[in-house]
């Protein structure tokens, strides 16, 4: 596929964008912006995005991504509850922190387990029902997203690293499936993820300094 063909597909894809795909994209970008700001509105706004993308992913035979968005929906409720907890002074209980070396190991094992499981399931699905599935790419986008969402609920800085990987995998994945507007959406999310990583890194360092002062 040359540059002219890519451009044509891009234009045709944008023209074919449905209102609900556009709504999902706007809600997703807004949700990530709230996440970067450590604002709890990330979750209610994010639920609009995830529910719509469950439908969109199934329609495009991206079943790993459909599973991810169902997982997002569940984890959004879980994260909403965690971020809502406050102490007796009405301050948030959960703060942005860096992962320890032991936690990093857990994250990698968590990712590996989901990647293997999703990949195996998609290979079966591809052979038996949907030849349009792309197992390795779908599993990569899905497993990194599972890990990122889990860590975001716990306010770990490293969640943004997993989001960066998710976005890199998702940009071409949705483009070849014809969801050009969604592909552009993931490019915007990629830029926001880098900004979020920088912002949360600063917040984690500030939290650590405050802990040392009060210790």
SS (H, E, C) 7-65: HHHHHHHHHCCCHHHHHHHHHHHHHHHHHHCCCCCHHHHHHHHHHHHHHHHHHCCCHHH
CA angle, 124 then 129 then 130, to 5° = 90
The string of DSSP codes covering 123-186 is HHHHHHT-TT--HHHHHHHHHHHHHHHHHHHTTBTTHHHHHHHHHHHHHHHHHHTT-HHHHHHH
User: What does the block give as tokens for 100?
Assistant: 């320890």
Domain-embedded: residue 96: no
- CA 153 to chain centroid, in Å, comes to 12
Domain-embedded: residue 94: no
- Per-residue pLDDT, averaged over 130-155, amounts to 86
- Per-residue pLDDT, averaged over 183-193, amounts to 91
Indicate the number of domains in the chain: 1
8 Å CB contact between 187 and 28: no
Output the pTM of the full model.
0.83
Domain-embedded: residue 91: no
Domain-embedded: residue 33: yes
- Domain extent, residue 193, equals 3-85+101-214
Other beta carbons within 10 angstroms of residue 24's beta carbon come to 25
Long-range contacts at 119-122 (CB < 8 A, ≥ 24 apart)? 121/63, 121/64, 122/63, 122/64
pLDDT digits (tens, 9 = 90+) for 198-213: 999 999 998 888 767 7
Per the prediction, the chain carries an average pLDDT of 86
End-to-end, the C-alpha distance of the chain in Å comes to 60
| Helix axes 101-128 and 135-153, enclosed angle (nearest 10) | 140
pLDDT digits (tens, 9 = 90+) for 1-59: 566 666 676 666 666 678 888 898 899 999 999 999 999 999 999 999 999 988 888 88
Residue predicted with more confidence, 156 or 173? 156
Which of 36, 67, 32, 60 has the alpha carbon at shortest distance from 46?
Answer: 32
Query: What pLDDT, on a 0 to 100 scale, did the predictor assign at position 111?
Result: 96
Domain-embedded: residue 90: no
- Per-residue pLDDT, averaged over 141-159, amounts to 93
Domain-embedded: residue 92: no
Q: Which of 9-13, 59-63, 154-158 has the lowest mean pLDDT?
A: 9-13
Domain-embedded: residue 140: yes
Q: Which of 115-119, 160-164, 178-182, 193-197 has the lowest mean pLDDT?
A: 178-182
Domain-embedded: residue 46: yes
- How does residue 144 score in pLDDT terms, banded at 50, 70 and 90? very high
């Amino acid at each position: 596929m040359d540059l002219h063909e890519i451009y044509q597909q891009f234009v045709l894809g944008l023209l074919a964008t449905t209102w609900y795909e556009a709504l999902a994209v706007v809600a997703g970008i807004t949700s990530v912006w709230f996440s970067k700001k450590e604002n709890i509105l990330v979750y209610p706004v994010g639920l609009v995005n995830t529910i719509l993308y469950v439908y969109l992913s199934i329609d495009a035979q991206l079943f790993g991504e459909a599973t991810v968005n169902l997982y997002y929906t569940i984890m959004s409720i879980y994260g909403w509850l965690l971020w809502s907890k406050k102490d007796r002074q009405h301050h948030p209980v959960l703060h942005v922190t860096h992962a320890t070396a032991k936690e990093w190991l857990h994250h990698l094992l968590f990712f590996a387990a989901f990647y293997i499981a999703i990949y195996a399931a998609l290979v079966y699905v591809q052979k038996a029902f949907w030849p349009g599935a792309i197992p390795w790419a779908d599993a990569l986008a899905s497993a990194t997203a599972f890990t990122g969402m889990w860590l975001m609920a716990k306010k770990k800085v490293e969640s943004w690293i997993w989001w960066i990987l998710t976005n890199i995998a998702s940009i071409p994945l949705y483009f070849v499936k014809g969801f050009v507007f969604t592909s552009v959406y993931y490019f915007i999310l990629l830029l926001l993820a880098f900004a979020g990583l920088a912002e949360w890194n600063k917040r984690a360092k500030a939290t650590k300094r405050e802990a040392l002062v009060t210790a």
